[in-house]
Amino acid sequence: MGILNYTEEHERFRQRLIDHIEKEIKPNAAKWEKDKIVPKEDWRKMGEKGFLSTAVAKEYGGPGLDFLYSVIVSEEMITSGQTGLAAGLHSDIIVPYIEAFGTEAIKKKFLPGCVSGDIITAVAMTEPAAGSDVASIETTAVEEGDEVIINGSKTFISNGINCDLVIVAAKDPGVESKHNALSLYLVEDGTPGFTRGRHLEKMGMYAQDTAELFFSDCRIPKENMLGEKGGGFIMLMQKLQQERLVSAISNVKAAEFLLEKAVEFCKTNEVDGKPLSKQQAVKFTLAELATETKLNRALLDQVIKGHMEGENIIAETMMIKYSSSEMANQLVDRLMDLFGEYGALESNHIAEHFRDLRITTIFAGTTEIMKTIIAQAMGL
């Protein structure tokens, strides 16, 4: 029934990744969640095995593979029991900005390290007073000779502690139009004036090092600007589509994974001498959740196919992002009821995903933002 053409090479890659997850990630996942960070060495292990930045062209040190390899990584990492080694965030959300908009010098300098895992990336858009409305960013970038001076603060930045390279969205205070004032800049770890604030404590995604970033008279070479000056808003809008698709891929896979675990649980656990799976209410609940998951999978695969073929699927991408995040949250909430006390155990995938999935209706654009864009596409 699938419409995506996975080849034998794709499936061999998937199995290698599954083996890596079983050997190198799952045994360490609980510690990473407790420590609230992933050791950089484990990022490098992913890079050494070819699981990072799979789309980067060979001329920049990457394998130049198609988007289905990115789909495989996003899907299989959902089963790893941790959120900190966010390969999809690094490889398919942040690094594409560098490859698409960086100069040749920038690409040759940074992309090989992004592939190998020696460079962990972050993107700094969100500010204390600017979230989904990126045009309201207040961080400034002022040119002075051959340098750009950045001043401002960012918050809720994923990979904020580990990042070796961060893409910073900042505005030219001399440009009146908010949309035309925004540009994107690369800031390397260790640059004077670039400091980290709090390592933020969150209700979920514990191993994901989320932090505040501060820029105080942070001077970078003018060559570290991505694309054209004032083109930041357009670049962000272009790349947000893939970010939202990557989010949806993880949401749907999480739902499938949890549903599989729930079916196993209900078949093997009894109430009054009868398996839970034989209770009509339980059967109906699982049937409903399976249907919703299948519907989201069907739309997701169609959107992935359209994305790979370069179709105009802006509205459909918004649909699957919002639909999958809401569906996955509703699914894990209902499964918590089925699992009862067992679902609340920290060792259970249900408890883990109950926390981790909640943010998915917010990041990469809230459900309300998604509905607004869909309505605009409908001419409303």
Residues 50-92: pLDDT tens digits?
999 999 999 999 999 999 999 999 999 999 999 999 999 999 9
CA distance 222 to 149: 9
CA distance 49 to 164: 20
Phi/psi region, residue 156 (left: phi>0; alpha: psi -120 to 50; beta: rest), is: left
Residues 280-297: pLDDT tens digits?
999 999 999 999 999 999
How many Å from the N-terminal Cα to the C-terminal Cα in the chain? 34
pTM, two decimal places = 0.94
Q: Give the CB-side neighbour count of residue 89, counting CA atoms within 13 A.
A: 23
pLDDT attached to residue 131: 65
Report DSSP letters for 84-149, one per residue: SS-HHIIIIIIHHHHHHHS-HHHHHHHHHHHHHTSS-EEEE--BTTBSS-GGG---EEEEETTEEE
Quick one: tokens of 193?
């004036």
pLDDT attached to residue 1: 55
- Do the beta carbons of residue 161 and residue 43 sit within 8 Å? no
Stretches where the chain sits below pLDDT 50 are none
Neighbour-count burial of 35, counting CB atoms closer than 10 A to its CB (0-12 exposed, 13-18 middle, 19+ buried): middle
Q: Which of 253, 378, 342 has its CA nearest to residue 304?
A: 253
Q: Which of 85, 86, 91, 84 has its CA nearest to residue 69?
A: 91
Enumerate the β-bridge partners of residue 210. 158
CA distances from 351 to 11, 284, 336, 341 (A): 30, 22, 8, 10
CA distances from 111 to 37, 88, 107, 167, 241 (A): 23, 15, 5, 13, 21
Q: Which of 27, 16, 82, 89 has its CA nearest to residue 51?
A: 16
pLDDT attached to residue 270: 83
pLDDT attached to residue 347: 81
pLDDT attached to residue 179: 85
CA distance 69 to 9: 10
Strands 225-226 and 182-188: antiparallel
SS3 274: strand
pLDDT attached to residue 130: 72
What phi and psi values does residue 170 have, to the nearest 5 degrees? -145, 155
Question: Domains in the chain, please, with CATH?
Answer: 8-119 (1.10.540.10), 122-229 (2.40.110.10), 234-377 (1.20.140.10)
Catalytic residue IDs:
243
Q: Which of 6, 114, 2, 11 has its CA nearest to residue 57?
A: 114
